[in-house]
Structure 1
Amino acid sequence: MRLLLTSAGIKNATLHDALVDLLGKPLAEADALCVPTATHAMPGGPAAAWRQISGRASTPLTELGWKSMGVLELTALPSVDPELWVSHVRAADALLVGGGDPLYLAYWMRQSGLADLFPSLDDTVYVGVSAGSMVLGPRVGEEFVEWRPSTGGDATLGVVDFSMFPHLDHEALPANTMADAEKWAARLSAPAYAIDDQTALTVVDGAVEVVSEGHWKHFAP
């Protein structure tokens, strides 16, 4: 997969251009699937899921003018034949993975079998928002733990080798200052990035690049 890991969706022209570059074609020629599952473990989850799917959220994804759009609800997948959904994942140009709770999302990515498909999705662009980005790292840090699996811990999927701190310096999130991010990163003792809502990370063949109209910080262990 080629990755575009955002804090709050496609918020500016720089991020839009990065998405088009990763796709290799205009969005109007690209098929996408929206994954709203992470919202279910958050307060107001049903309404948040609807906003993500319908393009009414403050994190632009589904409303960008895609050729086609479908919904992939991970909690439903273990109860149906894989033949009913795997082909749609493989056919999609982009997976749009929305925000919510990253540990809940990691749990259902594993339970559904979607995570097992990731290594084979060579031509897919994965676009994450907040939890949808954080879930690909090795850990989220205790600061971001709310829902917790029965096994405990803060481990996520480890698709990339760095953790992410989204919504840096967001006016509505007083615990997301740069000072808070620095403390979070120090406790992780691992590679990490803090990014604001105007910033994203691209990952192609393991190479990480920051694309931004805002501010961010890289933390080395």
Structure 2
Amino acid sequence: MLLTSGGVTNPTINAALVSLLGKPIADADALFIPTAQWGQPACSPASVMRSIAGPGLGDLGWKSVGVLELTALSSIDRGRWVPWVRAADVLLVDGGEATYLCHWMKESGLAELLPSLEDAVWVGVSAGSMVMTPRIGPEFVDWDRSPGDETLGLVEFSIFPHLDYPDWPDNSLDSARRWATKIGGPAYAIDDQTAISVGDAIEVISEGHWEQFNSR
């Protein structure tokens, strides 16, 4: 996994992605998952299109990029969509609302499929990264039907994204520290120039600012 806050935003994160892929980006087939945006009130059809075409994810020079909308998968036969996922080298999972994304990963069957995708790389942006953690904290729950702040728990740490983002004063380091005291486990606050690589080991990849909390 490459768990980012803002996508592949600098050469250091790009190099980490190539290392995880084990091949050049130009030789890799990608599937883009925009689902988290539909659960986030601040997102829109226009923001989905900007994410697909915009910097840091869909525009990195992939061999091919397709769109996989999780809300559609439960209405079509698994025999159609599972081969699409298995054929992908990388899943590009956009931001939005992490508990909404978690719901549709389970409902669609993608969550169940993930452990068998041994060679695929998961590149998360914001909520697309947070969904892999045990909890996101109530501060980040924006889906009005969410049963809580629990997510998939496929990694043992939580993530506070967009640290010190200029337009979001609530994403300050002081806010992250308060969040971390309540999250109940290891956690990282990362800015948009930072990512966490999860492979044989956990490594912070950064040209920016990050903090680790509650380390064991």
Superimposed CA distance per residue, residues 153-177 of structure 1 (whole angstroms, 9 cap, x where no aligned partner): 1100001011100000111110000
CA distance in 2 between partners of 1:44 and 1:130 (Å): 13
CA distance in 1 between partners of 2:46 and 2:103 (Å): 21
1:71 equivalent to 2:63? Answer no
CA distance in 2 between partners of 1:20 and 1:178 (Å): 30
Give 3-state SS (helix, strand or coil) of 1:34's partner: strand
CA distance in 2 between partners of 1:94 and 1:179 (Å): 34
**Residue among 133, 136, 140 paired with 1:140:** 136
Correspondence for 1:208? 202
CA distance in 2 between partners of 1:183 and 1:25 (Å): 40
**Residue among 110, 113, 118 paired with 2:114:** 118
Code of the aligned partner of 1:111: E
Give 3-state SS (helix, strand or coil) of 1:175's partner: helix
1:174 equivalent to 2:166? Answer no
Q: Show the 5 A alignment for 1:71-90.
A: 71-90=67-86
Point out where structure 2 has 5 or more consecutive residues left out of the alignment.
none
CA distance in 2 between partners of 1:21 and 1:81 (Å): 34
Q: Given that residues 43 and 96 in structure 2 are in contact (C-alpha distance below 8 angstroms), is that contact kept between their aligned partners in structure 1?
A: no
Give 3-state SS (helix, strand or coil) of 2:192's partner: coil
CA distance in 1 between partners of 2:144 and 2:82 (Å): 27
Give the C-alpha shift of residue 52 in structure 1: 1.7
Q: Given that residues 107 and 149 in structure 1 are in contact (C-alpha distance below 8 angstroms), is that contact kept between their aligned partners in structure 2?
A: no
Give 3-state SS (helix, strand or coil) of 1:160's partner: coil
**Residue among 22, 25, 35 paired with 2:23:** 25
CA distance in 2 between partners of 1:44 and 1:182 (Å): 27
CA distance in 2 between partners of 1:189 and 1:13 (Å): 33
**Identity in percent:** 58
Q: Given that residues 29 and 88 in structure 2 are in contact (C-alpha distance below 8 angstroms), is that contact kept between their aligned partners in structure 1?
A: yes
Correspondence for 1:15? 13
Code of the aligned partner of 1:145: V
Give the C-alpha shift of residue 148 in structure 1: 4.3
* TM-score, length of structure 1 as denominator length: 0.94
CA distance in 2 between partners of 1:185 and 1:159 (Å): 19
1:6 equivalent to 2:4? Answer yes
Give 3-state SS (helix, strand or coil) of 1:79's partner: coil
Give 3-state SS (helix, strand or coil) of 2:211's partner: strand
Point out where structure 1 has 5 or more consecutive residues left out of the alignment.
none
Code of the aligned partner of 1:209: E
Code of the aligned partner of 1:137: T
